[in-house]
Structure 1
Amino acid sequence: MLYQRKTLPDTNIGDPAPLPAALVGLSDASLADLSAALGVAADETGFAGQGFFPFTPEPPPPPPVDQLHKVDFLRLFTQAERIAIRQAAKVNPIVEDYQDMLDAATVIRLSDPDIQEGIPDLEDAGLIGPGRAAQILSGENP
């Protein structure tokens, strides 16, 4: 287990590391305030005013979303946006073609060139709100 060395009340000193050999076996409560736990020995060992705390690293961020089931892709749009796109497909052959391609897919890859080019076109046409193309292409729900 790694411990983070801190000056009290709460300033990190160095990188998380294993406990120094002289401190192995002390309870977490004793490690939290070495001056109180060790008394004069804390001064002698150079740990006065310091503590060691179990270190738990932050979990890594989830990998970026790229491949979605079609329904999960559609959930990236608001209901109003989905309705606007379907209405536009009735009168605009380009939107109709885009919708037809989407209907034919079972899985959507956000990195697909058609998706990368088409979503900003929907924003430019006012079918989705300003800034929504970037949110959708990053897999961010509304």
Structure 2
Amino acid sequence: MSNNPVIFRNAELNDLPLLVAMLADDELGREREKWTDPLPHSYHEAFAAIQRDQNNELVVACKDEKICGMLQLTFIPYLTYQGGWRCTIEGVRTSSNERGKGLGTLMLNWAIDRARERGCHVVQLTTDKKRLDAIRFYEALGFTASHEGMKLHL
């Protein structure tokens, strides 16, 4: 990691094209994202919904005022664990020129600290089984594959 400090802030609407570009900047993302100019309206609708929801945070990591990473945090109340809260981390991306330099670790540690601030008892995330490097990365941070996740695409 360089000497430039990383600043975390909530994403802003004018960040949206770059965020979608980051989501599309890998093998799996290219298949499911639609990075065009203009962006499909669905991205704007999702961004607005995230901003309105006090239990969702779309966060960017910036160095020298330039976005170099992103993630989304969703805080979920549960009846299990005596009414405990969980934090789900999704959409984790670092810009391609920052990969392997420690930014991802910094981002995940920041997200875990944020979950603690919100009173969460567990942090959870999913990653595609094809993302072997990501799985190793999350395991190195202490995450364990304790459950089998399932999805039904509609």
* TM band (smaller chain): under 0.3
TM-score by length of 1: 0.27
Higher strand residue share = 2
The structure that is helix-richer by fraction is 1
Provide TM-score, normalisation by structure 2.
0.25
Indicate the structure (1 or 2) with the bigger Cα radius of gyration. 1
Greater RCO (Cα-Cα under 8 Å, separation 6 or more): 1
